Structure 1
């Protein structure tokens, strides 16, 4: 099992020790502590992707500000906000800023462990989607401008003759571009072409 990285950011030594003690019971976790949001931000770019247990109220940068910075600068962290003074507006704001969960301290052990496991699952899913998108875009980058034009026509469900008419080329030339683009994409069917374009987030309008 590959290591999962958990970062605890809280100014309370007792809380950090308690969270570490609880989460240390989970297999495959590498845990690192930070006594402030500022210290975490200083180290953030050198850290492995992982789950962040982030206290809301701390000296220096507050948890909400740290959350904003993390969400804006990196998609490598799934953030769970922790607070002893939670309220609905704070929950809403945290979710808007990208937190995956918001828990009040002291947390029920099972609730916290479940939240952390869910955060890791979501992070892994997002990373897989990002990798798929990057791979699909790399394939599309191999296509020439004309091949992309033909691809757009195919995605719109147009027959070769209509694509040829729109591009002012012959249907035979469209067939050649179509064969070339499918070879470059490494596919044999239109459904596979569509899968790649959708994975890449290609603008079809």
Structure 2
């Protein structure tokens, strides 16, 4: 998911290889079970951070979820000074491409967001990569912002591990919040602004289709713009 000319050419080459190599197959949706540990977060808007590969798709999925009031693409971890697309994409920082979500728990609970994440957003068995994107900045990670979110996330990962939905172990990490820095303006709402972009059509549009098919009750046809 690169934009600058040389890097974009490389991304296109990798994507082309992905059509031939099973290792780069598109993430398949998984029917994850409802969480046994239901989130109890009280009234008022809450925030959550998810990292799952390219932030375009993560933001795109959650922007189509009822109860989500905003989804901001950005960088979690590392330092503010190094929180730029060029540096993060180099793999030389500790950042992960991530999305900060603001949501109303009366409409969509944190445990339900986790279910969507594991079902259609990311393959939790892939370490430091998703789809055609490789590197620690594309890692799969959940960043709880409260004790309740931490408890729910740990319980849900344990539940999924016992369910045996994947042939490989879950490697999605629960990371301590260590700073979130919004990405450049051109990355925000990227999917809705660039529906014909090759990367969006190949890797991210199928995630929206899966969300709509699997969870019609929480799917919103309207894209929540920032």
| TM > 0.5 | no
TM-score, normalised via structure 1 length: 0.26
TM-score, normalised via structure 2 length: 0.25
Q: Which has the larger radius of gyration?
A: 1
Higher helix share: 1
